[in-house]
A and B are shown apart, each in its own frame.
Chain A
Amino acid sequence: MSKAATKANSGDDIVQWVTFKLADETYGINVMQVQEVLRISEIAPVPGAPHYVLGIINLRGNVVTVIDTRIRLGLPTAEVTDSTRIVIIETARHVVGILVDCVAEVVDVATSEVESAPNVGSDESANYIHGVASRDNELLILVDLNKLLTDEEWDELASL
């Protein structure tokens, strides 16, 4: 019997998370919200867009807005490298791309392993942290993509 099945039988739900790196920290997003992972391509800037919007890309005929995740999370900016990826995600309201340093793997996390985010004086815009989990002596920061932006910001994105 697989580990996941064992845990499921014991009543502990397993959620799969796609992990990625940002500024040496590991973040996770629910695999069900990930549509695809792209190598970085030409991103067309959008005049007047919020500062955390890198621009738009053409994804098989569809226009997708790309968010600079580092800027959104208040992290220092970094050069694009060979490992940089755009993760296309589907939130409750939009399909957007988020720029990440690199995509790592897909991990199983039992709900019982998820702790609430430590209160470290984060500002309100940090509500997107769903929780944290310890993986191999490393902290996995789980992101609630629906809260990555506020309702007003999602609306603003839609109007671009």
Chain B
Amino acid sequence: MTKYILNRLFHSALVMFTISFIVFFIMFKAGDPVELMLPPDATQQDVVDMRAALGLDKSFIVQYQKFLVNVSKGNLGNSFIYGQPALDIVFERMPATMELAVIAMFISVLVGIPLGIISSIKPNSILSRIIMFFSLAGISVPVFWTGMILVLIFSVILGVLPSSGRGEVYLFTSAFTWDGIKHLIMPVATLAVFQLALILRLTRTGMMEVLMQDYIKLAAAKGVPRKVIVYYHALKNTLIPLITIIGIQFGQLVAFTIVTETIFAWPGTGKLIIDSIQNLDRPIVVAYLLVISFIFVAINFVVDVLYTFVDPRVRV
């Protein structure tokens, strides 16, 4: 068991290291931001000076080495543009993004699983077919389109919801203030639509497969009440793979916040990363990607280990 955990830990570290290398390399190739940062009346000498000041005149190996040394001290460098520690800037914006992702995931699960169960029990009923059609639409519509249409309807035409920005924050989140909630509704809905549809469909397929199994038929023959069959036996066996998927999908969700934040001018990390890529602000791009990969790697690690406890067929 310990061997397995250590193995996964090593694997996770390897992933992080590889990602940092690739990203650093790509950003290195992309060029430096000095040209963009200096005004037109700067001289060639100024460009050279600024490049040296930011440490960009050294070779790739030297720069990467310096980066690794700093990382071991917990320092991911200073943003070229803002001059402040990149990690601080990323963490400053994290709560806003996490807020969106967590609330969206919560809603997707809360609504998606029940709807999935309902549509799996009697798959050909009218209600099921309606649910299925909407879920199909849900996974067919790109995130940005959902956002656009919501803003068009609720902000521009009806004028009932604010078109952008984050509301008042209380205790790290804006979900506790009415102003905050008003600003949260559309971005969260935009993110949740796709997720909800996906979870719904997965639950449905999972439940349908399980309900066909022999042991279910046996239980029904034995006279076990319907409700118990569905909510206890079937659901239990569907939940395990579902939880795995939800864990992985959370990662996707965070990635899609990039699009949502762009549309709603939400001050999170998504907007930061797009701007930083445009501005060639390498430290922030690297810091962001490392933080995100850390989150995913951590989630994957936890899911992997949990799996061994939960699913008796997976023995290490």
A and B bind: no
